[in-house]
Amino acid sequence: MELDSIECVSTTDGGIEEDEIHHHHHHHNNTNNNLHHHPNHTHHQFSSSKPNNNNNNGNNGNGINGSVVGPTAITPATSVHELLECPVCTNSMYPPIHQCHNGHTLCSTCKTRVHNRCPTCRQELGDIRCLALEKVAESLELPCKHYSLGCPDIFPYYSKLKHEAMCTFRPYNCPYAGSDCSVVGDIPFLVDHLRDDHKVDMHTGCTFNHRYVKSNPREVENATWMLTVFHCFGQYFCLHFEAFQLGTTPVYMAFLRFMGDETEARNYCYSLEVGANGRKLIWEGTPRSIRDCHKKVRDSHDGLIIQRNMALFFSGGDRKELKLRVTGRIWKEQQNPDAGVCIPNLCS
């Protein structure tokens, strides 16, 4: 079902001017959203950067499609690294490492894929373990594969994978919810990607005032209506607003995600408010990190949820048209060293 556009009136902190922005809704299952990728997005390699001991949400300007240059002090020996590379999938091999009678090796995952035949000499593999290579791997210490993005740590070979899965310097997935976008990168790169490729609206300031308008709200199925990016406190936040079915009840939901890791997201709070006719709903919480996918946040109901009948009541009139005004603000929790409590630090 093709949905109508939504009018969004945004006010920045000054509250002097209002921008009218018209957005088209996107079905969650719609993978063809005319996404325009920059030519740089074809190859997902990360550009070089000097290692940085400060995480800073990965904000070191690294994007996609560049050569990887790491610190020479921790670059592994090429010959040993090649020995531990599976010839089929080219990934690093972990026990059990298999070999054929001629000594050619491959990983356990690829052994089943090649139907127990050596991909190099075509001899039958059998069940021979390459214990010597496994012992060599045990003695190695290697840099995290995200060292070009700033991770300075070195790990034993068999601990490396576990760290890389949770490394705070690992790239982020695109937070756009209207399509299955596969672009990854650091925060500055994704901000440019959202603006240039997804045409997401960018606003500066920690307060906002949005009006969502829908002419036939009773026709709405699961749809993502709006993504707006806010820049404040030197960070970026994604404001989502959408409609979906909560059980059998049609609802609207607004929530905020932080463009950075979860530990950093806990330093911020936000509030959302909607109301009319002497009634008001207020939500206050901590933004979720974009490490948590959009669907996970939505399905956990971690945000302001408004039933459709209540939303139409707030809209006034004959309740046939949605005119919902959502206001909110973002602030930073700042530790008070004397009292040992957190106090809000509002942006100016």
SS3 labels along 283-324 = EEECCEECCCCHHHHHHCCCCEEEEHHHHHHHHCCCCCCEEE
Q: Can the peptide bond before residue 96 be classed as cis, meaning omega within 30 degrees of 0?
A: yes
Q: pLDDT of 306-328, one tens digit each?
A: 998 888 888 876 777 788 889 99
User: What average pLDDT score do residues 340-346 get?
Assistant: 51
pLDDT at 337: 46
Would the pLDDT of 246 be above 80? yes
Global pTM?
0.65
> Which single residue is written with the structure tokens 């709070």?
269
For position 13, what pLDDT does the model report?
A: 45
Higher pLDDT among residues 161 and 233, named by residue: 233
Q: Which residues pair with 267 in a beta bridge?
A: none
Residue 77 is classified by DSSP as: P
Highest mean pLDDT among 1-10, 216-225, 338-347: 216-225
**pLDDT band, residue 194 (cuts 50/70/90):** very high
| Confidence check: pLDDT of 297 > 50 | yes
- The amino acid at residue 201 is D
What does the alpha-carbon distance between residue 56 and residue 233 come to, in Å, rounded to a whole number?
12
Task: Find, among 268, 248, 249, the residue nearest to 258 by Cα.
Answer: 268
**Would you state the pLDDT for residue 45?**
35
Would you place residue 196 in the very low, low, confident or very high pLDDT band (cuts 50, 70, 90)? very high
- pLDDT tens string 91-100: 888 888 999 9
State which amino acid sits at residue 241.
F
274 to 6, 237, 329: CA distances (angstroms):
17, 20, 13
Average pLDDT, the chain: 76
User: Lowest-pLDDT range, 8-22, 67-81, 297-311?
Assistant: 8-22
